[in-house]
Copies of this chain bind each other. A is one copy, B any other.
């Protein structure tokens, strides 16, 4: 689960935040001092930081700036006064969100979750890694090598599956038949690239409503094919 560092000098608030976050299965550390907080922030690898603005030692402004110089993960600033939010924003310190005291713990948790979810969404390379591809009614499960169209399973042969999956994992990128043949059949294999055409045709019969108006694998005349998203 994700790890969060809270830098906050009011112990009661810090503990409250920690309790609620731990209820949502986050691992939480607390640091009360700005200088030590920075050290800990840079040394440990946390998935998110929650910084109070007023702190002994380095204040929240400086802290945010220094952390951002090194880390990319979300930073949430906690302020006592609403007006300070504009100030922080204006300084362009790179904070991701702002919350004013007093706040409801559930709102804090909601925001933390949202930021972590977004971070994951943006950072993990979208194409690879995923074992399942799902787009407009087409679902591909790479692990079991099965394909569904609008909930209905279609039986795919090995080559058909590989071809469809390769295209779907690189959406909107156009590949020539030569490229497709090389990547899927192997560099050395000599053969007719019309094989690719035939397989595309077979795939379309299975996933397209109307094969002459393909919704998924589009023909780019004179260039190649692409998986449309």
Contact = CB atoms under 8 A, between A and B. Distances in A.
Nearest to A106: B86
B173 A143 contact: yes
Given A158-B220, A221-B157, A222-B158, A70 B144 contact: no
Given A114-B89, A221-B158, A174 B119 contact: no
Interface residues of A, number: 36
Interface of A: 69-70, 72, 86, 89-90, 92, 94, 96, 107, 110, 114, 117-119, 121-123, 126, 135, 141, 143-146, 157-158, 172-174, 220-223, 226, 229
Given A144-B226, A145-B220, 10 more contacts: A72-B126, A86-B110, A94-B118, A143-B174, A145-B223, A146-B172, A157-B221, A158-B220, A158-B221, A158-B222
